Amino acid sequence: MNKNLLFIAILIAGGLILGTIFFTAKKGEKVPPTETAKPIETPLSKSEESFRTIKGIGFKEGAWAEYKIKGGVEGKLTVKMFSFDIEGKKIKGLEITHSEMGGYVNFWDDAGKFYQGIIYPKVGLICVGGEIAKEGSFGATQFEFKKSNLEEEYEVDKSLEFVGKDKFKTESGKEVEILKFKRKIQTGMEMEYEEGKEFVVETEFWFSPQVPTYFVYGKDVEGGKLLFEGTLVDFGLEGAKISVSKREIENCIKGEGFPQIPGMPELPELPKFPLKEDKRYCQTDADCACGVDKETKECAIGNKKYIDTSKECPDFCGGIAGHLKLACKENQCTFVLK
């Protein structure tokens, strides 16, 4: 009897084991083996990405915007849109005038080719050669005026972080919707200014789709020093009158920017472009250096001709963790993450 019970128990146990194996095998057929997990990238949120591409009013001949400028060379900055039909091509451009620094024009043909000229009182428009002309800012760390400022869509620099929407009212009483963006770079310990104090570079821009050229506000602060601040004062979509003529623009396109006129007085010396005060101006990464400013004797970055690299500022130049490097971005020497 005991042997029979033992035999039955063995049969039951064996059946349970075989059933478990069979069930597991069937289940495995329905669920394929998992692959090795891959790193998951975290893209920008859809809302932030949508704000980065701003859909504006596009080009409007006669549109204008006026700004109050602080930091660097203070004064009033006026931007005017213009266009001409020259030899079957549509020319679109911007006349940009600073009350203390003079004016210049940026313009483009249908193919997107860029031209630039400096406006001289009593002389007119003097074209800048192609090897010098480059889309960008006027003076140090100011608003940039490129072909994209004339388009119906404006792409905000990816280094700027979207921080929110708001409304802004100009001194003239016009209210517009704005999109705010910021960038903050902590460069490590700044030994020359104050022991234990971090040297921080902060940039802020506000844009509006309702404003010609999109810019509403801009600010650049380095180590607590205001380098540039621009604020929209007023704007309009028509009525702007430029100081340059169609003939002058045509001469630039034809490469006749330096006309030879009998009896014409000697032209004044061309101003340095950008201004001499712009110690951070660059064309390539190789132009930039970090060390001690030859004039102020403080740790600084800038064009290598203004920087004494024999004196080191290790925490400032590379960051405490060595996570920073120099780069020439938009004609300005700046820190970027490695």
- Phi, psi angle pair for 265, to nearest 5°: -65, 155
pLDDT digits (tens, 9 = 90+) for 149-192: 888 888 888 888 999 999 999 999 999 999 999 988 876 544 44
- Closest of 88, 129, 92 to residue 108, by C-alpha: 92
Instruction: Identify the DSSP state of 14.
Output: H
pLDDT over threshold 50, residue 321: yes
In the chain, CATH 2.50.20 sits at 48-253
For 88, the token pair is 């079957």
Q: What is the pLDDT of residue 215?
A: 94
Q: Which CATH class is domain 48-253?
A: mainly beta
Q: Compare 184 and 131 and report the one with higher pLDDT.
A: 184
Mean pLDDT for the stretch of residues 239-259: 82
Is residue 227 a contact partner of residue 141, using CB atoms and an 8 Å limit? yes
pTM above 0.85, yes or no: no
